[in-house]
Amino acid sequence: MKKYTVTSVFGIIGIISWAITILLRETYLVNIDIINFKLGVMPNISAAWFFIWMVEIIYEKIKKDFTFKISIKVSGIIFLMAVLSEVVHDMFLNSPFDIFDIMATILAIALYLIVLYVFERNKNLKHQF
């Protein structure tokens, strides 16, 4: 049985939640304010988790370890790309800069890094005894 990494679990959750968001945006649920807000920020959360997972897959293919330090760097790049995306949308696509999208990306990255850190720390503690 294949062991799943923390990153792959977050990536799979990201894909599923992104697909559900796309499907639900076409329903009457968008008329409910809180659901509409969640459907608005969910792609940012989902994309952050998905893209981190894609980088982990690339690292696996080139036979390199996807360490916590690398996941921090990748998360930083994803955050910068999210900010850049908001700026481009604001300047060129007549879509307002949405601070909630940036906050959702930060929340997604923080949640991922905290869970990854806890799992990595527990794994290292088990190897010490």
- Give the CA distances from residue 44 to residues 1, 36, 78, 122, 124, in Å, rounded to whole numbers and listed in that order: 31, 14, 10, 29, 31
Q: What is the pTM of this model?
A: 0.85
Q: Given this model, what pLDDT does residue 26 score? A: 80
Q: Given this model, what pLDDT does residue 129 score? A: 46
Per-residue confidence in pLDDT tens, the chain, 129 aa: 567 889 999 999 999 999 988 888 888 777 788 887 888 889 999 999 999 999 999 998 998 888 899 999 999 999 999 999 989 988 888 888 889 999 999 999 999 999 999 988 887 666 554
Question: DSSP letters along 74-108, please?
Answer: HHHHHHHHHHHHHHHHHHHSS----HHHHHHHHHH
Unique residue bearing structure tokens 């690398």: 70
